[in-house]
């Protein structure tokens, strides 16, 4: 009679003392990234060594965990079962390390970060040198783009995203409130008059962020969606801000981008009695909570502290 192959679950139960947590963590990252080489780089391992360690883990468990092709990897049925147990095991190990201090959790390695261009230049890039001085073992690869990237395909550890999150598979931590206002230059109001109700926007020149030509308000009569129109549509928030400062049109803007101009009076808010219906935030998003490297957690904590609650751009200077 053929000897039955041990299931990965039973293997963990009987051989746990022989499991190397590095191999388990490597397996989780390889599965999430769908790439052994990329996972290996995060642990300072060559592709060959990473592949060998995963093969060793499979031999220990007595089951194939990953389907391998020349381009990608995917979980087998046994791998899906083990993935759940592996995440639990890593969480328990992380909690144990945290209970006795920093131990081996000092942030290390390259951290690839993606974020919107304008927000990144204004509120993140000025403090990255301070972050690097605080964590000398970390290097940062900062990618500024107004296009949403796939974190796994792009090998991104952490992304900063603004507004509502659409990808429910990502883990998100709120970094700050993203307060938004309807605003324009006083010169525009002098030339075109002041709208007193959201519906009045239909008669005005609006400067529109691409794919956001419907603005939702709360009114005494209930939610109201107003379809806005204008001759300038762009995918770049700085273009909108420049148009407003030039006295051309009305726009929906985040205060992180226009707060200095509101304080100086170059821009003013309108329709303040009709708050925007959707509450949005500034988020840190990453692929999984199963194994979050200390370098990622360090930047999340650093930025959340730097932004503050309420964020510093919404606080009147003394």
Three-state SS annotation for 13-70: HHHHHHCCHHHHHHHHHHHHHCCHHHHHHHCCCCHHHHHHHHHHHHHHHCCCCEEECC
Q: Residue 120 and residue 217: Cα distance in Å, rounded?
A: 28
Q: Answer whether 277's CB lies under 8 Å from 223's CB.
A: yes
CATH superfamily, domain at 109-176+281-314: Periplasmic binding protein-like II (3.40.190.10)
Decide if 109-176+281-314 and 180-270 have a common fold. Answer: yes
Phi, psi dihedral angles at 312 (to 5 degrees): -60, -30
Sign of the Cα pseudo-torsion (41, 44, 46, 51, in order): negative
Task: Say which DSSP state 313 is in.
Answer: G
Nearest-CA neighbor of 73 among 10, 152, 169, 149?
152
Which pLDDT value is given to residue 15? 43
Cβ count within 10 A of residue 283: 20
Question: How does pLDDT run across 223-232, given as a tens digit for each residue?
Answer: 999 999 999 9
Give me the percent of the chain exceeding a pLDDT of 70: 87
Where residue 94 falls among pLDDT bands split at 50, 70, 90? low
* Domain boundary assignment for the chain: 8-99, 109-176+281-314, 180-270
Where residue 92 falls among pLDDT bands split at 50, 70, 90? confident
Cβ count within 10 A of residue 104: 7
Task: Return the CATH fold of 8-99.
Answer: Arc Repressor Mutant, subunit A (1.10.10)
Which pLDDT value is given to residue 25? 85
- Which carries the bigger pLDDT value, residue 9 or residue 233? 233
Question: How does pLDDT run across 1-52, given as a tens digit for each residue?
Answer: 444 444 444 444 444 446 788 888 888 888 888 888 888 887 778 888 888 8
Cβ count within 10 A of residue 166: 8
Which pLDDT value is given to residue 13? 44
Average pLDDT, the chain: 85
Above 70 in pLDDT, residue 248?
yes
Question: How does pLDDT run across 132-179, given as a tens digit for each residue?
Answer: 999 999 999 999 988 877 777 777 889 999 877 765 667 889 999 999
Q: What DSSP letter does each residue of 99-148 carry, written as one string?
A: HT-STT----EEEEEEE-HHHIIIIIGGGHHHHHHH-TTEEEEEEE-SSP
- Which carries the bigger pLDDT value, residue 85 or residue 100? 85
Q: Which of 36-50, 114-128, 283-297 has the highest mean pLDDT?
A: 114-128
Omega of the bond leading into 310 within 30 degrees of 0 (cis): yes
Sign of the Cα pseudo-torsion (102, 108, 114, 115, in order): positive
**Could you say which of 3.30.565.10, 3.40.190.290, 3.40.718.10, 3.40.50.720 is the CATH number of the domain covering 180-270?**
3.40.190.290
């Amino acid at each position: 009679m053929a000897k039955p192959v041990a299931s990965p679950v039973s293997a963990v139960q009987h051989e746990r003392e022989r499991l190397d947590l590095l191999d388990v963590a490597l397996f989780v990252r390889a599965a999430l990234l769908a790439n052994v080489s990329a996972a290996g780089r995060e642990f300072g391992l060559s592709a060959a060594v990473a592949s060998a360690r995963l093969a060793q883990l499979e031999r220990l468990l007595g089951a194939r965990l990953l389907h391998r092709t020349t381009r990608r990897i995917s979980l087998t049925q046994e791998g899906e079962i083990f993935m759940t147990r592996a995440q639990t095991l890593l969480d328990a190990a992380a909690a144990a390390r945290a209970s006795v201090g920093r131990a081996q959790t000092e942030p290390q390695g390259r951290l690839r970060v993606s974020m919107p261009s304008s927000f990144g230049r204004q509120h993140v890039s000025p403090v990255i040198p301070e972050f690097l001085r605080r964590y000398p073992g970390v290097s940062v690869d900062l990618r500024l783009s107004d296009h949403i990237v796939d974190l796994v395909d792009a090998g991104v550890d952490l992304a900063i995203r603004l507004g509502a999150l659409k990808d429910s598979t990502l883990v998100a931590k709120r970094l700050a409130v993203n307060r938004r206002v309807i605003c324009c230059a006083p010169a525009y109001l002098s030339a075109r008059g002041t709208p007193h109700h959201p519906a009045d926007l239909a008669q005005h020149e609006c400067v529109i962020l691409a794919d956001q030509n419907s603005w939702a308000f709360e009114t005494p009569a209930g939610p109201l969606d107003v379809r806005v129109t204008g001759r300038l549509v762009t995918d770049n928030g700085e273009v909108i801000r420049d148009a407003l400062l030039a006295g051309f049109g009305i726009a929906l803007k985040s205060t992180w981008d226009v707060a200095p101009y509101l304080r100086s009076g170059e821009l003013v808010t309108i329709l303040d009695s009709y708050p925007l219906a959707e509450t949005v935030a500034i988020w840190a998003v990453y692929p999984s909570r199963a194994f979050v490297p200390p370098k990622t957690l360090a930047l999340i904590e650093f930025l959340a502290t730097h932004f503050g609650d309420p964020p510093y751009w919404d606080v009147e200077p003394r």
